Structure 1
Amino acid sequence: MNDSSWQPEPVPAGPAYDAQAGPHTRPMPIVPDAAGRDFDDREARDRGAAAAGGPPFRAETPPQEPMPSPPPPHAPQPQDVPPPPPKKRAGRDLRAAIGVGVGLGAVIFASLLIVKAVFVGVVVVAVVVGLWELTSRLQEKKGIKAPLVPLAVGGAAMIIAGYVRGAEGAWVAMALTALAVLVWRMTEPPEDYLKDVTAGVFAAFYVPFLATFVALLLTADDGPQRVITFLLLTVVSDTGAYAVGWRFGKTKLAPRISPGKTREGLLGAVAFAMAAGALCMEFLIDGGAWWQGLLLGLAVAVSATLGDLGESMIKRDLGIKDMGTLLPGHGGIMDRLDSLLPTAPVVWLLLAAFVGTG
């Protein structure tokens, strides 16, 4: 029909009519929520809140946290950042070590400058204490009873005989000390006799006999200067090895014996000792030449390193870190004599060849 006066029939009142679907559509049931309100009430409330300018209220929908923005594609992740390299640390208390070293050096130099015999007494005391440390560790860790009394008496006799009678006196005292060790051990049961006397003879050679060459150095006219050269080169060699090895050391020298020693440290010991040897031979030793000092420094660096490795072998076999605790920052007396003992005969022999024994 095209009659413009036609009007649609009035919509009957009631909830059963859907304007979208028409009068024949089955109305959707109104489901109340948990609070007893139906959806029409909540929709009306939401529409009212929107008309007032606020957001629609949804009590059952919690507010959402904003999502964190993803990191840039090339930004390093926390687990990808490598930890800082550990700082190198010295294995001992450097302040205590330096203080004890300076104190020992003052005692040695003072004894050399006062009277030669006083320095011989210092050597005797060091030898006896070193023998006590060595024999004590052998008995504690290995059950080896090297007799200390004949070793201490014979060791002191070796040092004094070497200073008074020279090399011949030192050899005689060494032989008598070995014989005294054999006899002294006979006063105890025969079990482990061979092991005990072998350790005793070894201790007699290792500590007092090698130390006798220090007394032989002192017998020359310029004896104090020779002893100072011997001590100075050994200390400089150890210092060069420590300084260069700590800063640049990467290649292990003998990892199964002493993991802390490196080939770079050995090169540092050689360089430092050769430089100090040239200066000592030029300015301290009568008739010495700088090139002789280079050879002397090289020999000292090698012998001091071998001596240190030798005592490290002994300590590893015994399962200990230090021979004693008498010297803070250093360990025991034997831990300071390790590089000095094998170096003494080397220095005495080379100085005798270069400038004589007078």
Structure 2
Amino acid sequence: MNDSSWGAPVPAGVWGPHQGPAPAGPGGPHPAGPAYDQHRAQQTAPMPIVPDVPAAGDQEPMPTPPPPPPQKKSAGRDLGAAIGVGVGLGAVIIASLFIWKPAFVGVIALAVVVGLWELTTRLQERKGLKAPLVPLAVGGAAMVVAGYVRGAEGAWVAMALTALAVLVWRMTEPPEGYLKDVTAGVFAAFYVPFLATFVALMLTADDGAERVLTFLLLTVVSDTGAYAIGWRFGKHKLAPRISPGKTREGLVGAVTFAMAAGALCMEFLIDGGSWWQGLLLGLAVAASATLGDLGESMIKRDLGIKDMGTLLPGHGGIMDRLDSLLPTAPVVWLLLVLFVGTG
């Protein structure tokens, strides 16, 4: 605290010629008389009032706030709705697959058309790419049917005709952006209906229903294993720049679950199959399903969206369910042909 505010003695000579000599003492009268006493009173500030502060030992300790409750991990989606939708779709697929094969071909074609609608809509909304939906939808459905009726040759012919239809259809609009639009259209034709045609090719075998069921089971089990293990134990990111939610532990879970399911399916569902072939098949499915999931995550990240659609509660859109199935279909078809033939 500044001592001058309390009127402390001041050294001689600092008052100047007009203020006279320094005071004789702190208690006695000054020779200069009342004028000096008035000046001294003006220069003296009152002592501030300091509130009473209890001693350090008398202070009560501040209460410690309770720790925040532990945060539970969230699945990120409505799990109940996801399970309900998944069970419903599974029932439709199984019923059409084992009751009447052409009905399952219709299910594939319907999924392809809806997937193309979601993909082309997002491309136009986010990137301004006008991939023509009409030739893609017609050609995509025809591609699936041709693969079931005429085999791989029919699928290739339908793919070529669909690409040609996209080129011609886009000519009805101004030429600006033509190359970008037809490129997006050909990409959509390959990515959705052509890859889905390999499911129809599997169905043409004598044990086609069992092959398709094996394909679906292994893909679903791979995704489930990745989700369950990654959600519970995942700490190390697999591809943080593409899909931050995927972990290396989840990939281990996908491989483990898929290989176990593959051994069981090849041993008990596929005619002429063996368990060791199932291990290789499960490993390949886990790899292709993970790459397919990352591939669509790359597309959605480029488009700046979380889901391709909202048609399926708890799942997103149709394309959000086909992301791991589409690239896995040709892998399973090829390996089954190598292991047990075309049937």
Do they superpose with TM above 0.5? yes
Which letter maps to 1:206? Y
How many angstroms apart in 2 are the aligned matches of 1:314 and 1:84?
Answer: 37
Question: Alignment partner of 1:259: what SS?
Answer: strand
Which letter maps to 1:198? T
How many angstroms apart in 1 are the aligned matches of 2:301 and 2:64?
Answer: 42
Which residue number in structure 2 is paired with residue 97 of structure 1? Answer: 82
How many angstroms apart in 2 are the aligned matches of 1:154 and 1:333?
Answer: 19
Which residue number in structure 2 is paired with residue 246 of structure 1? Answer: 231
RMSD: 2.0
Q: Do structure 1's residue 151 and structure 2's residue 136 form an aligned pair? A: yes
Q: Deviations over 1:132-177 (max 9, x none)?
A: 0000000011110000000001001100000000000000000000
Which residue number in structure 1 is paired with residue 284 of structure 2? Answer: 299
Which residue number in structure 1 is paired with residue 194 of structure 2? Answer: 209
Task: Normalising by structure 2, report the TM-score.
Answer: 0.82
Q: Do structure 1's residue 346 and structure 2's residue 331 form an aligned pair? A: yes
How many angstroms apart in 1 are the aligned matches of 2:124 and 2:139?
Answer: 20
Which letter maps to 1:150? P
Aligned match of 2:311 in 321, 326, 330? 326
What stretches of structure 2 of length at least 5 have no aligned partner?
1-51
Which residue number in structure 2 is paired with residue 8 of structure 1? Answer: none
How many angstroms apart in 1 are the aligned matches of 2:147 and 2:205?
Answer: 12
Which letter maps to 2:90? G
How many angstroms apart in 1 are the aligned matches of 2:97 and 2:239?
Answer: 36
Q: Do structure 1's residue 109 and structure 2's residue 100 form an aligned pair? A: no
Which letter maps to 1:243? A
For the pair shown, which has the larger CA radius of gyration, 1 or 2?
1
Aligned match of 1:229 in 205, 214, 229? 214
Which residue number in structure 2 is paired with residue 277 of structure 1? Answer: 262
CA separation of 1:134 and 1:68: change in aligned 2, threshold 3 A: same
Q: Do structure 1's residue 67 and structure 2's residue 58 form an aligned pair? A: yes
Question: Alignment partner of 1:260: what SS?
Answer: strand
Q: Deviations over 1:229-266 (max 9, x none)?
A: 00000000000000000000000000010000000000
- The alpha carbon displacement at 1:87 in A equals 1.5
Question: Alignment partner of 2:280: what SS?
Answer: helix
- The alpha carbon displacement at 1:114 in A equals 1.0
Which letter maps to 1:194? L
What stretches of structure 1 of length at least 5 have no aligned partner?
1-61, 72-76
Task: Normalising by structure 1, report the TM-score.
Answer: 0.79
Aligned match of 1:78 in 40, 43, 64? 64
Which letter maps to 1:230? F
Question: Alignment partner of 1:326: what SS?
Answer: coil
Deviating 4+ runs (over 3 angstroms) = 64-71, 81-85
